[in-house]
Amino acid sequence: MLRQIEKVGIQYIQPDGTLTPEGEVAWKPIERPLKIEFYKWMRKIRLFDQRSIILQRQGRIGTYAPLQGQEAAQVGSTLSLNREDWIFPSYREHGVAMIAGMPLKQILLYWMGRVEGCRPPEGVKLFPPSVPIATQIPHAAGAAWASKLKGEPSVAVAYFGDGATSEGDFHEGLNFAGVFRLPVIFFCQNNQYAISVPFSRQTATETVAEKAAAYAIRGVRVDGNDVLAVYTVMKEAVKRARTGEGATLIEAVTYRHGAHTTADDAGRYREQEEAREWVELRDPLKRYRRLLEAEGLWSEAEERDWEACCKQEIEEAVCEAESAKAPPASHLFAHVFADLPPSLVRQRESLLRQEEGR
């Protein structure tokens, strides 16, 4: 397993925080505020993730999908987009949602099972998290096709995990994008496991990126724990899409530090040595903070201030979400069928009678 996961693809920041020669070239033109913004988002997202796990353990939100370890992949890719671009996430893209403009309160409401958590603010082109595996990939291809037909400059991005590449929807979406040369980016966060199934048991190919060749689109493998490399690769893919050069499949090689969701135990299916390698030596936040500190762009005092600011914002969001007015129980019937089947009509009427005390 360790031999396999050494192949991380394009890398600009090494695990010790130093830049590769290619990284030096990519680093220089980036403005100072953006360099700091990379880290601030990653830190905020990790704090939100850690708080959400505690909330789940306390029974205050439902089953939750942690993302710790994947912050660089989400931050680097999302900061490459414009507000006009469409985003089709899976259930682990809370960091993507935050950067796109989804309030923390609504992200929490989603995990509380509330429909409001699927409704972004006006102007935010973020679709609800897709829980069925890979179904958002054809949706993104369709949105990209619509943009192309309308002559709009927007691109569409589908986020998914490595397990999604074993589904039919993945291949249908990529085939369609290749045939019609669509402005779409397929962004795979290869965190090595589809729940408990290791990548080597899902596919006979060594990488996800090489599958792009079958559909005549570009495929790129990048170190998903390297925010600079992800940002650079994604910017190039966005530019290609906007200029009519078609789709890109990006494989960001990363690792989730914890379980697939709060409903499983990763210690049952992952080797301790492997997890320690990624958590302790390849952590995306540690390596980027080392780089910022070496460049004189971040300090311990700034770390404390930013952490305090984020924690206050997160706690305010928790209070707002928990104080949201509870929906009526009949809401269970409101968002699945346009016309309820007779059996559900009877159930709804029975529930309404109970609520009215009849």
Q: Which residues participate in catalysis according to the annotation?
A: 256, 260, 269
Tell me phi and psi for residue 186, to 5 degrees: -100, 110
The beta-carbon contacts of 147-154 under 8 Å, at least 24 apart in sequence, are 147/86, 147/183, 148/180, 148/182, 148/183, 152/84, 153/84, 153/242, 154/82, 154/84, 154/85, 154/86, 154/125, 154/183
Q: How far is CA 160 from the centre of its chain?
A: 7
248 three-class SS: strand
CA–CA gap between residue 248 and residue 237 (Å, rounded)? 6
Question: Which helix (H) or strand (E) is 161 found in, with range?
Answer: strand 156-161
* 157, 187 Cβ separation under 8 angstroms: yes
DSSP state of 85: S
Q: How far separated are the first and last CA of the chain, in Å rounded?
A: 62
CA–CA gap between residue 125 and residue 127 (Å, rounded)? 7
Alpha carbons within 13 angstroms on the beta-carbon side of residue 166 total: 16
User: What crossing angle do the helices spanning 104-111 and 32-57 adopt, rounded to 10°?
Assistant: 30
Q: How far is CA 291 from the centre of its chain?
A: 24
- Tokens in use for 353? 């009678």
CA–CA gap between residue 225 and residue 6 (Å, rounded)? 12
> Hey, which residues does 223 pair with through a beta bridge?
253
